Amino acid sequence: MTETGQRKGAHDGAGHRARLRKRLLEGGAEALADYEVLEYLLFAAIKQGDTKPVAKALLDRFGTLAHVLNAESKALQSVKGVGETSAAALKSVALAARRLARSEVQDKPVLGSWQALLDYLTIDMAHLTVERVRVLYLNSQNRLIQDHHVGDGSIDEAAIHPREVIRRGLDVGATALILVHNHPSGNPEPSRADIQITNRIAEAGRLLGITVHDHVIVGRSGHVSLRSKGLI
């Protein structure tokens, strides 16, 4: 079964699509099962035929709807029935989700939109297979000035220099910052290196008038705030 050659007549294709559309529009957030969401998304790329086998194959391969949508394009196309057009349709949904989540934190005081920030960071980073470090620089109203991608790799002084983090904050006029990184293992619990580098950056910031509000670690199983754990 290929993307352009789905079997016709295997079931009432047009009627099935119409029924899914009706449930989607009238049934609310839980109207469709995860495989049915994927079925519907694949309609855009697979114009005729049954998309259910492809949807279920994607879930079998990647485990969850979120993992499907965040998978690399080449990995998606390794699943039988998924071509470039289907992969692009799925990736567009992940992109839209990130844009929507980001819009909830832009131009708003970050500390007053904390859950929205956590949602955005989780959508943006929880699926990553490499460890990524970011610094969110804030102004005196705690609005986001810059979301700086420091680099990929373990969070230690070999990768992050406290003075460089604070210097960049001074350059952009920040009065506070939030450190963010992910744990590809899925477990967001902080390591000793996470705690040590956080406190070194916080100490450097105190000397120059930049407050480290928090260090948030994101994993597939959730997130951890070093501030809430009393580690800053």
The pTM of this model reads 0.70
Taking only the tens place, the pLDDT of each residue in 83-128 is 999 999 998 988 888 888 777 777 777 777 888 888 888 888 888 8
Rounded to whole angstroms, how far apart are CA atoms 28 and 19?
Answer: 14
Taking only the tens place, the pLDDT of each residue in 127-151 is 888 888 999 999 999 998 999 998 8
Which of 31 and 54 is assigned the larger pLDDT?
54
Domains and CATH numbers, the chain: 13-100 (1.10.150.20), 110-225 (3.40.140.10)
Residue 12 has pLDDT above 80, yes or no: no
Report the percent of the chain where pLDDT is more than 90.
Answer: 39
Contacts of 144 (CB under 8 A, 6+ apart): 105, 106, 107, 110, 136, 137, 138
What are phi and psi for residue 31, nearest 5 degrees?
A: -65, -35
Query: What integer pLDDT is reported at residue 63 of this predicted model?
Result: 87
Residue 222 has pLDDT above 80, yes or no: yes
